[in-house]
Amino acid sequence: MLGRPFASTVSTRTALRALMLVASAAFIACAWPLSVAWYFAWRFAAGLAGGAIMVLVATSILPHIPAPRRGFVSGMIFLGLGLGIAASGTLVPQLLRLGLRETWIGLGLVALALTLLSWFGWPATNAPAATSQPAGPAARAPLPKGMRRLYAQYAINALGLVPVMVLLVDYVARGLGRGSSVGASYWVLYGIAAIAGPLLCGVAADRLGFRRAYRGALLLQGLAVAALAVSGNALVIGVATVMLGIFTPGVVPLGLGRIHELVPHDPVAQRAAWSHATTAFALLQALSGYGYSWLFVHSGQSYALIFACGAVAMAVAVAIDFGGVRRQAANLPSA
């Protein structure tokens, strides 16, 4: 919510540089647990910076990219999400051998190195405004058809993904009794798939269109989460892990690309819509984390129930999309 106003005040390039520095500093600051308030403040700063970066990065780059290449480019932009997931299963365990403080400092130095590496890579100017910009709040154009459905789908998508992000390793390690090392290996597999996810989804969107690609992603995610709910077979879990690893970061460029389809040629409106969608996803992600935790405890730690809830959420998201198609068809004039 604060990313767009900040960028409009100081320029997108300056905002991204500052936010990446804040994220890097937050890692290093957490190495010294001075108090709960200190830790809370820096974790809040890290979340604020990360959320704002999610909104600003793509919307500062994609307006400069030809439409036929936006799927591929958006996939490359969000490739970093997959790399981050993979790093959490590989880099963090290695750093932890040195100690917790050293782990925080190591992550901060990695983030700082990436900040410096990208320092001169951001566009020097903000995205161009639409040719016909409304004069004021009263003149704002209404939301395009389908935008509210997209917000709902994108938010509900979080409900379907949280069970896997929270419980996958625990399910393998404790639920199936295969130990933490096997559980960690599935998380690394999840991270490797996540590296490829944004690029694969971006290429699919270039070929199929963002709406069809996103619909297919929701269907496949629902099937994968449902498979975790009904099967403890190692191969089934592995396939489901790969599919969900692909789509956890992969749905981000698909959602962003769908926004560009609904509001073409208006970078200002695209950034506003992307901010709303990201906020909706983050809100449902946070609420579902608490909700699933409560349900997990009060259901006798039923992994199947939590995964089934995630599958139902994906089914609802798909139903919202098909419901929109039916309404559009019903409104078409008869021959």
Report pLDDT digits (tens) over 238-272: 999 999 999 988 888 898 889 888 888 787 888 78
Mind listing the pLDDT tens digit for each residue in 156-175?
Answer: 999 999 998 889 989 998 99
For the record, the structure tokens of 92 come out as: 């963090």
Q: Where are the domains of the chain?
A: 3-117+145-330
Return d(Cα 84, Cα 74) in angstroms, integer: 16
Spatial distance between the Cα atoms of 154 and 103, rounded to a whole number of angstroms: 33
pLDDT for res 326: 55
Percent of all residues in the chain with a pLDDT value above 70, rounded to a whole number? 90
Look at residue 291 and tell me whether its pLDDT is greater than 50. yes
- What pLDDT was estimated at residue 334? 46
CB burial of residue 219 (10 Å; 0-12, 13-18, 19+)? middle
If one looks up domain 3-117+145-330 in CATH, what number appears? Answer: 1.20.1250.20
Residue 314, pLDDT > 50, answer yes
Give residue-wise pLDDT tens across range 43-100: 999 989 988 888 788 777 877 777 777 777 777 777 777 777 777 777 887 888 899 9
pLDDT given at position 135: 43
Structure tokens at 99: 């100690």
DSSP H helices, 171-233, are 179-208, 210-230
**What pLDDT, on the 0 to 100 scale, is given for residue 128?**
55
Distant-in-sequence, close-in-space partners of 166: CB < 8 Å, separation ≥ 6: 289, 292, 293
Distance in angstroms (rounded) separating the CA atoms of residues 178 and 75: 34
CB 60 within 8 A of CB 127: yes
Q: Report, in angstroms and rounded to the nearest whole number, the Rg of the chain calculated over CA atoms.
A: 21
Q: Given a cut of 90, is residue 220 above it in pLDDT? A: yes
| Residue 60: Cβ within 10 Å count | 23
Q: Report which of residues 329 and 258 the model is more confident about.
A: 258
